[in-house]
Structure formats: C-alpha cells, structure tokens
Amino acid sequence: MLPIVILTLASTGFCLFLIAIPYFFAPKDKNSETKASAYECGLAPKQKRDSQISVKFFLTAILFILFDIEIIFLYPFALAYRDFLQTEQALGIILAMGIFILLFIFGLWWEIKSKALDWK
C-alpha cells in the first residue's frame, strides 16, 4: 500500500510542479496584440471564419472513429477466445460477442442504407 501512496504523491507533486513553472517564469503580459490576432501558420487570414466545409466530411470522420473503436474491441476477444472455451462461461461470452457483432453489422447496414457515405 505504501508504494502506491508514494507513487500517487510523487506524481501529484510532479504535476503541480509542471503547472507552477509557467506561473513563475512566463511573461506577465496577458493582453497583447499578438495574442488577440488570429493565427493561421504565420500568414494573414484570407478567408471568412464561416468556411464552407461539408458536413459529410465530419460525418465520415465520426463514423470511421466509431467503427474503428468497435473493431478494436474485437481484438481482446480474439486473443482470449481459446481460454474462454475451457471455462463454464464459454456460452455467455460467445453470446455477448455475437450480440456485439450483430450490433456492429446493424450499424454498418444502417450506414449504407442511409447513404451516409455518399458524397453526391
């Protein structure tokens, strides 16, 4: 128990130290013209702030992340599958993964049916 307390105190102290460094060493000028101006890679901004980026781009990105995370959840199951077959929980584990895969397939079907990835 003592090593956990020591590690917790050490990490908390280190975090507080990292937070305190800018407080003591950073310049105190909070409001300046440089901080108030827009920054776009060193160039003066040329576009309006309300740019015309398609919402479908963001939808595709969100769907990719969603399905990517679901596939990542299948990896630990695949690694532990053989161990689960030797226990009494084998049927429950396979049933749970079957439900998960069915939900995944339903989500993929819904995505295709709703034409979420059509860019036309």
Q: What is the pLDDT of residues 74-116, one digit of tens each?
A: 888 888 877 777 877 788 888 888 998 898 889 888 888 888 7
Domain boundaries, the chain: 2-113
Q: Is 105 left (phi over 0), alpha (psi -120 to 50) or beta?
A: alpha
Could you give the percent of the chain with pLDDT greater than 90? 16
Q: Is 75 left (phi over 0), alpha (psi -120 to 50) or beta?
A: alpha
Domain 2-113 matching CATH 1.20.58.1610: the answer reads yes
Whether the pLDDT of residue 48 is over 70: the answer is: no
User: Which of these, 72, 70, 58, lies nearest to 116 by C-alpha position?
Assistant: 58
pLDDT for 16 equals 95
Residue 9 binned pLDDT confidence (cut-offs 50, 70, 90): very high
The three-class DSSP label of residue 87 is: coil
